[in-house]
Amino acid sequence: MQAILPFTISLCLAVGGLAKDPHPCKSPPLLEGKLALAIIKNKTFGIEKFAYNAFDERVHVRVRLDVDNKTIYSDTLVLYREGVAFEIFRHNQTCTKVHFKDHWKPIEIPRDAKFLSQMIIGSFSEPGDGLLVNNWSGKVEEPPLKYLITFTEFGCLPVYGWYDMPGQDVLGVSFFDIVIGVEDPNIFIPPSFCDKAELDIDRATSTFHDVLTRSL
């Protein structure tokens, strides 16, 4: 009888240890994928192909945006550490180079995010037909926004993001077709026809929003 108690306690501790609470995590440092975005009040919708490099703090983004009755395309390589962005125009092999002032933000669940719930998209009743994800919420002071994000449990990959910028707009993002690693590392290197591009000092220092909407 005396032996049973410590045994039972050990068993409970072991089982408790198997069911860990989800923890904030960082996505793998090299990713390629797509995302669908919707800027709600602005009635802007877009599909984006992205390549993400957390080692060098670079992203390459090719966007198709539908806003008002226009469609704009954009091919942009951002070098956060160097503070510049290249807008690439492959059809005529030209390039513009602008200051880029946003700080690098890795793809991750912030350390102060609040865990909301875990859920299964699809079902685990059939092999390969379910995806275990975690929902988190939080807020950021600068710029002021509240967010709801969903990441996969196993690989810490982004699935959804919902960003509420009070007084401004709401942005919804849906990630898909993610691959860990990149097929061609040259995607993070400005094309050779960008070598001659001079810094456009007449352009206001850009954020991602500026770069994406310059054609409007």
For its own copies, the closer CB: 133 or 194 = 133
Instruction: Say if residues 138 and 145 touch (Cβ distance below 8 Å).
Output: no
Q: How far is the CB of 51 from its own copies (least distance, A)?
A: 14
For its own copies, the closer CB: 163 or 175 = 175
Compute CA 152 distance to the chain's CA centroid, rounded to the nearest angstrom.
13
Q: How far is the CB of 31 from its own copies (least distance, A)?
A: 8
For its own copies, the closer CB: 177 or 184 = 177
| Site of interaction with its own copies (CB under 8 A) | 33-34, 119-133, 152, 154-155, 157, 159, 175-181
For its own copies, the closer CB: 3 or 19 = 19
Instruction: Say if residues 37 and 172 touch (Cβ distance below 8 Å).
Output: yes
CB atoms within 10 A of CB 212: 22
Q: How far is the CB of 170 from its own copies (least distance, A)?
A: 12
**Sequence-separated (6 or more) residues with CB below 8 Å from residue 81:** 56, 57, 58, 104
Q: How far is the CB of 130 from its own copies (least distance, A)?
A: 7
Distances (CA, A) of 83 to 79, 86, 97, 106: 6, 11, 10, 16
